[in-house]
Amino acid sequence: MMNYKNKNVIIENWGLLNYKYAWNKQEEILQKIIDVKINNRKINNIKETPNYIIFLEHFPVYSIGKNGNKNNLLINNSALLKYGIDYVKTNRGGDITFHGPGQIVVYPILDLENFFTDINKYLRKLEQVIIDTLADYNLKGERSSDETGVWLSPNTPFARKICAIGVRASRWVTMHGFALNINTDLSYFENIIPCGINGKAVTSLKRN
């Protein structure tokens, strides 16, 4: 266990990137942090581990979590090619969602041993960041029981999801994160069952 807890965070803006390319970049950073942690267990001179928060947007892509159901993708490969949308099976949690321009994607790559070692608490912290952000726009973001993410009017006939969350952690180092719809083209969500949840809509800050 590290003796020094580095709570400083490096902020980076990666701009508009292909999903697989950004995923590979995340994996490289995560592995470097893990390598530091492994070396720290072998030597007495303990080196601090860095923390990152990455902001970016993606070209149109449907990403599905490691335990997601491909049946929640409602179009075939020909349609994906026709509309120029990638489909990627990832190693994060959660089911299927859409990423595209107009959506802020945030990937915290954090060594949770610098903060706390509790994934459930980490997910709730991510949700709270979104809830607090939406409050600045006079919107009441809320949690929905047993459904990770942030919603408007959950548990009503008008429930709509505004932010999807899916993460992975290895040796307490996180990757992936959340996607907040700002002025996203929401028609892309018509081709999937978002997050594998039937009967609930998706919205954006622009539409709310």
The catalytic residue positions are 195
Whether the CB-CB separation of 180 and 162 falls below 8 Å is answered with yes
- With the C-alpha atoms ordered 76, 86, 120, 203, is the resulting torsion angle positive or negative? negative
What is the C-alpha separation between 24 and 29, in angstroms, rounded? 9
Burial of 63: CB neighbours in 10 Å, binned 0-12, 13-18, 19+ = buried
- The HSE-up count of residue 149 (CA atoms within 13 Å, CB side) is 28
Task: Give SS3 for 36.
Answer: helix
> Which amino acid, residue 89?
K
